[in-house]
Amino acid sequence: MALFPRIGIQMGSMTTKAFLALVGGLFISSSSFATMTLVSISGASNQDISDATKPKIYGGFAGTCTAGMDGTSTCDSCTGADIGGSKLWPCNKTNAYVNLNLVVRTAFQGAAGTSPSPFVKIGDNKLTTITQTIEDGGTVLNTQIPWGALCGEASGDANCKTNFNKEVVIGIDTTANGSTTTESLSFTVISRFVDTSAAGTEWFYTDCNTTASADNSGFCHFKAYPGDGKIYADELVISATKLATPVAGLEYSNLVFFTEAEQTTGEAETTILARLSNASTYYNVSVNKSADPPVADDRITGLDNGVHYCTVMANQDTTGIISFFTPIPGTPGSPVTVAELCTTPSEVIGLLDDKHCFIATAAFGSDMAPEVQSFRDFRNKFLLSHSWGRSFVKFYYKHSPYYANLIAESEVSKGLVRVGLWPLLFFARMSVAFGFWTTLMILSLATLSMIELYRRLVLGRRFRGEL
């Protein structure tokens, strides 16, 4: 009997040989795992490699491209074609298509003198309709996957008309001296499809005015406001679902504004709006999750003063798909008015482009103070809508910086000015909430009532000799 005293097991000669063979085989044929390194990605609508250990690949399918489908690059499906009477429909300027090749290049260590075996897997299933080659002296794996094959394995729909969010693993097995090494890298692949064959629920948002709507996705209201050579997307409202799209794990990353200018002076706004399409001149506004509303900037810049513009808004997700457009006036059930979408940039109106309200800012300490914003709202709604108001604004911003600097240098001056501004602030806030003339009437009646009360209680008692 053979004895293993350390573990107290006795074995016969045949059993011992089998055991030793098993142990030796485990060491000789051992397996190990390592992580590949991403080199590059192409043939995708978008990519996110901020986390190099698990990159994200996006495919957006919306509309049909009329050119550029060479199998190596995405194409622009925002053609401005009329579909069902509308030229505003979901599209993608980096559109994917079924025979587009997703190309992923990854670096690996490998083992010299071996026959590597590359693979692509979704779950336990290996993809077969792929091309994998080893390049750069045996250190880089080039993987080409047609989107149709990827969609078919991930969602069961080789036409890529089904949304999915899947983990895809690209890897390679190398064997040397009986030892197998598996190197791989996991990707999250997110794909979204929007049907453009006929008007659908993802074509237009339901305008939510000042109240977020649960039926919408992304931003669902704005009002065009003029600036100096620009238009502000004012009064932005986001839906109850915030930045979430109809696809799990996919969010909106930009707002896109499609804009058309008048072609002749005084051209009817309805004519300008009729020219708007998803091929019109467009401007991107990035999303900023920490802001309220969550946009990085609300300006559409590079416009000409004195030219009338009309613009519509749409939501763009990370796959590049642009959807949920503004329902332009005339769309059945749309409450949006022409005045909300059309405006004229002006140098006079643009005097506040930097959002300074000099004296109020000096008094309250910041141009973002709620009191300053109230004065700004009053200016936007009432002063700049009248010629006399614009003249006053121009005069004010020509002369007020000097006095604002004096106020900012003294805490006593700041306090006195704040006291003086409170009645005006009260009037501004009431005007924004209830209307200028309603507020003026209410305050006039209140003032007359106080005067009458003073006349009766104070002057009357003095006249009667009671005081």
Residue 393's SS3 state is helix
What b/e string do you get for 343-373 counting C-beta neighbours within 10 Å, with b at 16 or more? bbbbeebbbbeeebbbbbbbbbeebeeebbe
Residues 236-281: pLDDT tens digits? Answer: 888 888 888 989 889 999 999 999 999 999 999 999 999 999 999 9
**The whole model's pTM is what?**
0.71
SS3 content of the chain, % helix, strand, coil (to 5): 30, 30, 40
Q: Residue 202 is encoded by which pair of tokens?
A: 């993802």
Kindly list the distances between the CA atom of residue 320 and the CA atoms of 31, 60, 130, 190, 225, in Å, as whole numbers in the listed order.
Answer: 41, 6, 25, 12, 27
DSSP-derived secondary structure for 312-344: EEEEEETT-EEE-B---TTSTT----HHHHEE-
Phi–psi pair at 295, nearest 5 degrees: -130, 150
Whole-angstrom distance, CA of residue 63 vs CA of residue 96: 10
Pair 375, 367: CB distance under 8 Å: no
What digits encode the pLDDT tens for the residues 178-229?
A: 788 889 999 999 999 999 988 888 999 989 876 666 668 899 999 998 887 8
Name, in order, each residue with C-beta under 8 angstroms of 329's C-beta and a sequence gap of 6 or more. Answer: 270, 273, 336, 337, 338, 341
Q: What is the pLDDT of residues 81-109, one digit of tens each?
A: 999 899 999 999 999 999 999 999 999 98
Enter the DSSP assignment of 137.
T
Confidence at 21, pLDDT banded by 50, 70, 90: very low
End-to-end alpha carbon distance in the chain: 127
Q: Is the pLDDT of residue 467 over 70?
A: no
